[in-house]
Amino acid sequence: MRVHTLKRAVVALALALPAAAIASVVAAPAAHADGCYTWKRTLYQGRSGSDVRELQLRVAGWAGRRDIVELDGDFGPKTAAAIRRFQSAYGLRVDGIAGPETFRKLYQLQDNDCTPQHFSYPELDNGCGRGGWTGGPLSAAQTRQNALLNMWKLEALRKSLGSQPLIVTSGYRDRSCNSQVGGASNSQHLYGNAADIVSNDRSLCQIASKARDHGFSGIVGPGVSGHNSHVHVDSRRENNRDGITNRTYWAAPNCGI
C-alpha cells in the first residue's frame, strides 16, 4: 500500500495546533500533490470541468440502483447522490459536497497509477496470457480507461461486502482470447468493461445482489449457463458502441435477480 507521507505530515501538524487553527487546516484545500490526481477546489452541484469528471470516475460505484454516474464533467444530482453514499460508507460528513475531507479519503484509496487500493491493471488484463490492452475493438488507452472505471466500481462493491476480498477470474480479453474461451462475439470483456468475480468469504448471490447498487448495468450470475461459478459484472451502459444503446441487463435467477 502506498504511504502518503505528506498526508501524514498534515495530520501531525493539525494535532500540534490549537483548536481554532485545526479548523483552519481542515477547511483548507489539499496541501499536497497526490501521486495520481490532486483536486484544487471544492466541488458541488452546478460545477463542471475535468476535475468533476475525475471525481465522477471514483464515485461511479456509488450510483443508485439501476442508475449510473455519467462521466460527463457536469456535477448534477446523480453525482451528488453518489458522493453522499460514498461519504456515508466511509463515515464522513454526508453533504454531497466534495471538499477536503472527501478528497482525503479518495487520496487514501487511490494508488499512484489512479487505480483503487485493492485492484490493479494486471488483475483486469486477463488476455489469456496477459498480452496487454491491444487486440480488441478499442484503442489500448480507451480499453484501459474502461477497466479503470470498472475497478472503482469493484472497490465500492468490495466495501459494501464488508471489505472482503474480491477475486477477478477474468477481465479484459483480446479477440483471440475471447474466442479461445468461447466468449460471445460482442462480449463486454472485449471492451475492458467487464470482470468475472468470486470471493472466498461471500456467496455468489451476495455478490450479485450487492452489485445492483454499485453502478453495474450488466450482472450475470448463478442460474445462467456458464455463470454458476462466478458473477459477471460490467458497465455496458457506458459502452454505447456502433450506434447500439446498451441497456441494463441483470440475470442471476438462482439469486432471485
The stretches of 90-230 forming alpha helices (DSSP H) are 100-109, 121-124, 140-160, 175-180, 204-211
Full-model pTM: 0.86
Percentage of the chain beyond pLDDT 70 is 83
User: Domain 121-255 falls in which CATH fold?
Assistant: Muramoyl-pentapeptide Carboxypeptidase; domain 2 (3.30.1380)
For CATH 3.30.1380.10, the residue range(s) in the chain are 121-255
Which pLDDT band holds residue 245 (cuts at 50, 70, 90)? Answer: low
Per-residue pLDDT at 238: 86
Per-residue pLDDT at 32: 54
Q: What mean pLDDT, rounded, does the chain reach? A: 87
Per-residue pLDDT at 1: 41
pLDDT above 80 for 226? yes
Sign of the alpha-carbon dihedral angle for 115, 116, 117, 118 = negative
For CATH 1.10.101.10, the residue range(s) in the chain are 5-109
State the catalytic residues: 227
Query: Residues 179-205: pLDDT tens digits?
Result: 998 999 989 999 999 999 999 999 999
| CATH code of the domain made up of 5-109 | 1.10.101.10
